[in-house]
C-alpha cells in the first residue's frame, strides 16, 4: 500500500462493555453487577433487585452470540475489539477468595475467537460494572478495602490471559466517578456525598489503577496498560479572561486524572482546589510510591461532545453529555439526545493530550447515538440507511487524520457500540450506535437478529483503505 495518513499498524475497531452487550446476567456463575439493578441507567436511583424492565439483563445476548458477532466484526476488517471483563462473572460477590472458572472460560472463548481473525483484544478491567455486593457491603469505592478485592481480580485475569491480551485499560472514564458515583458501586445518593468523599473514592481508584498497572507489567512485560478518561474540550463563551480561567478550571477537573496516571502525582492545581475545599485526601501507606512508580504506557479516552463554559454559567443555556454538563455552544448542532456534535473538538483534544504528555493516544469511544429505522434494502434484505452516522463518523475520523498530520501519535480508534447495545446512561436500545442493527426494542420485544446497516460497508472500506477513503472527494 502506498503511504497513507493513518499509520500502517493503526488499530481500527469497535468498543463495547460487558454489561451493555452480554446479557446472561445470572448464568455461568455470574453474580449481580450494579447495572443489573439500574433499570434506567443513570436516570433514576438503583433498585433493590433485578426487574424485568431492565434491558441489560439480556442486553444483546453477546454471551450466546459472540461467535456470530465477532465474525461480523472480522468481516468489517477489525484489527481490535474493545471489550470489558464483567468483574462479577469472575468474582461474583467481588470479595470472594476464589474466582468463578466458568466466567474465566467464557473470556478464554472470546479471546480465542478473536485470535482466529487476528483481532487484538483491548480489555477494560472495570467498565461501570462492579459486583453489586460491593455496593451493599462496602459502599463501593468509597471503601479502601475494595482496592484489595480489585487487585485480586486483576491478578487473576492478568495471569489467566497473559498470552492472549496485550492491551489493557484500568477504569473506564475514571474521571466520571465524581459525577456518577453509582457506576463505582457507591449507592449513597450523590447529594449526600461530600466533595471530600468523592475525591477520596477517586483516590482509591487511582491507586488501584496504578496497582493494576504494576500487576500486569509484572506478569507480562510486553503488555501495555492505559488509563481511560472521558475527554471533553471546554470553550470560553467570551474572550473575557475570567471565562478563559473558567475553562481551565473545568478542564483541570479532567486533567487531574490523566496527570496522576501519567506523572504519578497530584498536580498543584488539584492540591490547591482540595485545600480550598477543606478536603484532605487520606493517603494509605505506599500510595504515593505506587502512583509515582506505576504510570501508564498510553492514554485512552472517549470523545462524544465538547462543552462551553463561562465564569457565570447560569446566564446561559446548559449543554448535555451523559455524565457531565456545561454551557450550550451556539455554534454546534446536537444529536437527538442533546449531545453537541463537534468533530474539530476531537482534533483539539488529541493535540492537547499530545502537547501535555507525549504519550501514544488511543480513541476508545466515539460515535453517534441515533434512532434507526429498519427498512427493506435493494435486494430484499433488511437494513438501515444511516447516512447521518456515516457523516458523523467521517467528520470525526477526518479530524483524527488532521491530528496525525499535526504530529500526534494516535494508536487506534474504536468506535463506540459497533453493534447496537444498551445505552449506559438511559438504558435504552433505541439509542443506537452500531454498524450492525440488533432487533430489540425499548419494551424488550424483538428477535435479537442482526442486520448490517449502510455504515457497515462504509466502515469496512475505511479500514480496508487505512482511512484513505475518508479523504476521497
- Least separation in angstroms between residue 366's CB and ligand BGP is 10
Q: Which three cell numbers stand for residue 114?
A: 478473536
- If the CB atoms of residues 316 and 388 are measured against ligand BGP, the closer one turns out to be 388
* 431 is a site residue for ligand BGP (CB under 6 A): yes
Q: Which residues pair with 370 in a beta bridge?
A: 432
Is residue 17 part of the contact set for ligand BGP (CB under 6 A)? yes
DSSP assignment, residue 33? B
Question: Is residue 251 classed exposed, middle or buried when 0-12, 13-18 and 19+ CB atoms within 10 A define those classes?
Answer: middle
Residues 122-181 that bind ligand BGP (CB under 6 A): 172-173
Q: What is the CA radius of gyration of the chain?
A: 21
Which of 423, 435, 436, 453 touches ligand BGP by CB under 6 A? 423
Q: Which residue in the set 126, 295, 300, 322 belongs to the binding site for ligand BGP (CB under 6 A)?
A: 322
Q: Which stretch binds ligand BGP (CB under 6 A): 185-193, 252-260, 402-410, 418-426?
A: 418-426
Stretch that binds ligand BGP, among 133-141, 287-295, 393-401, 419-427 (CB under 6 A): 419-427
Instruction: Answer whether 16's CB lies under 8 Å from 417's CB.
Output: yes
Within 10 A of 439 (CB to CB), how many other CB atoms are there?
16
User: Residue 100 — φ and ψ, nearest 5°?
Assistant: -90, 110
173 classed as catalytic: yes
d(CA 105, CA 151): 20
**Residue from 22, 113, 120, 173 carrying the catalytic annotation:** 173
Q: Which stretch binds ligand BGP (CB under 6 A): 203-211, 217-225, 242-250, 421-429?
A: 421-429
Is 365 a known active-site residue?
yes
Among 4, 188, 351, 425, binds ligand BGP (CB under 6 A): 425
- For residue 197, the minimal CB distance to ligand BGP (Å) is 22
Q: Tell which phi-psi region holds residue 404, choosing left (phi > 0), alpha (psi between -120 and 50) or beta.
A: alpha
User: Residues binding ligand BGP: what is the number (CB under 6 A)?
Assistant: 13
Three-class SS state of 366 = coil
Residue 15 bridge partners (DSSP): 82, 416
Identify the residue among 416, 456, 458, 459 touching ligand BGP (CB under 6 A). Answer: 416
Q: Which residue has the cell 467570551?
A: 238
User: Mind telling me the catalytic residues?
Assistant: 173, 365
Binding site for ligand BGP (CB under 6 A): 17, 172-173, 302, 322, 365, 369, 416, 423-426, 431
Amino acid at each position: 500500500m502506498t503511504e497513507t495518513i493513518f499509520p500502517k499498524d493503526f488499530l481500527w475497531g469497535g468498543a463495547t462493555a460487558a454489561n451493555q452487550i452480554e446479557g446472561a446476567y445470572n448464568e455461568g456463575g455470574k453474580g449481580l453487577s450494579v447495572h443489573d439493578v439500574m433499570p434506567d441507567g443513570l436516570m433514576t436511583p438503583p433498585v433493590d433487585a433485578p426487574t424485568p424492565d431492565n434491558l441489560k439483563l439480556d442486553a444483546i445476548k453477546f454471551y450466546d452470540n459472540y461467535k456470530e458477532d465477532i465474525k461480523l466484526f472480522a468481516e468489517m476488517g477489525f484489527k481490535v475489539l474493545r471489550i470489558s471483563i464483567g468483574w462479577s462473572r469472575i468474582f461474583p460477590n467481588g470479595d470472594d477468595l476464589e474466582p468463578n472458572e466458568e466466567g474465566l472460560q467464557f473470556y478464554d472463548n472470546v479471546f480465542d475467537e478473536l485470535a482466529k481473525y487476528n483481532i487484538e483484544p483491548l480489555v477494560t478491567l472495570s467498565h461501570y460494572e462492579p459486583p453489586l455486593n460491593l455496593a451493599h457491603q462496602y459502599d463501593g469505592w468509597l471503601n479502601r478495602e475494595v482496592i484489595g478485592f480489585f487487585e485480586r481480580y486483576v491478578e487473576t485475569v492478568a495471569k489467566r490471559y497473559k498470552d492472549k491480551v496485550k492491551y489493557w485499560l484500568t477504569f473506564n472514564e475514571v474521571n466520571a466517578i465524581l459525577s456518577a458515583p453509582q457506576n463505582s458501586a457507591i449507592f449513597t445518593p450523590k447529594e449526600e456525598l461530600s466533595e471530600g468523599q468523592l475525591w477520596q473514592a477517586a483516590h482509591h481508584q487511582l491507586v488501584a489503577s496504578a496497582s493494576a498497572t504494576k500487576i500486569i507489567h509484572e506478569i507480562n512485560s510486553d503488555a501495555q496498560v492505559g488509563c481511560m478518561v472521558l475527554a471533553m474540550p471546554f470553550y470560553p463563551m467570551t474572550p473575557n479572561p475570567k471565562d478563559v480561567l473558567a475553562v481551565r478550571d473545568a478542564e483541570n477537573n479532567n486533567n487531574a486524572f490523566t496527570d496522576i496516571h501519567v506523572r504519578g502525582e497530584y498536580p498543584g492545581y488539584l492540591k490547591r482546589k482540595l485545600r480550598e475545599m477543606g478536603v484532605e485526601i487520606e493517603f494509605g501507606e505506599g500510595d504515593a510510591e505506587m502512583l509515582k512508580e506505576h504510570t501508564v504506557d498510553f492514554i485512552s479516552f472517549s470523545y462524544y461532545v465538547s462543552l462551553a463554559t463561562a465564569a457565570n454559567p447560569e446566564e446561559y443555556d446548559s449543554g448535555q453529555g451523559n455524565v457531565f454538563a456545561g454551557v450550550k455552544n451556539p455554534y454546534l448542532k446536537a444529536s437527538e439526545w442533546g449531545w453537541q456534535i463537534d468533530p474539530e473538538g476531537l482534533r483539539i483534544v488529541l493535540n492537547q493530550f499530545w502537547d501535555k504528555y507525549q504519550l501514544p493516544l488511543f480513541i476508545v469511544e466515539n460515535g453517534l447515538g441515533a434512532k434507526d429505522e429498519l427498512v427493506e434494502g435493494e435486494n430484499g434484505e433488511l437494513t438501515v440507511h444511516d447516512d447521518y452516522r456515516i457523516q458523523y463518523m467521517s467528520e470525526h475520523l477526518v479530524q483524527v487524520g488532521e491530528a496525525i498530520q499535526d504530529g500526534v501519535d494516535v494508536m487506534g480508534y474504536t468506535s463506540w457500540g459497533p453493534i447496537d447495545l444498551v445505552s449506559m446512561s438511559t438504558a435504552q436500545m433505541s439509542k443506537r450506535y452500531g454498524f450492525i442493527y440488533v432487533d430489540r426494542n425499548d419494551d424488550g420485544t424483538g428477535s435479537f437478529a442482526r442486520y448490517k446497516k449502510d455504515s457497515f460497508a462504509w466502515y469496512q472500506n475505511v479500514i480496508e483503505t487505512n482511512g484513505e477513503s475518508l479523504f476521497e472527494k
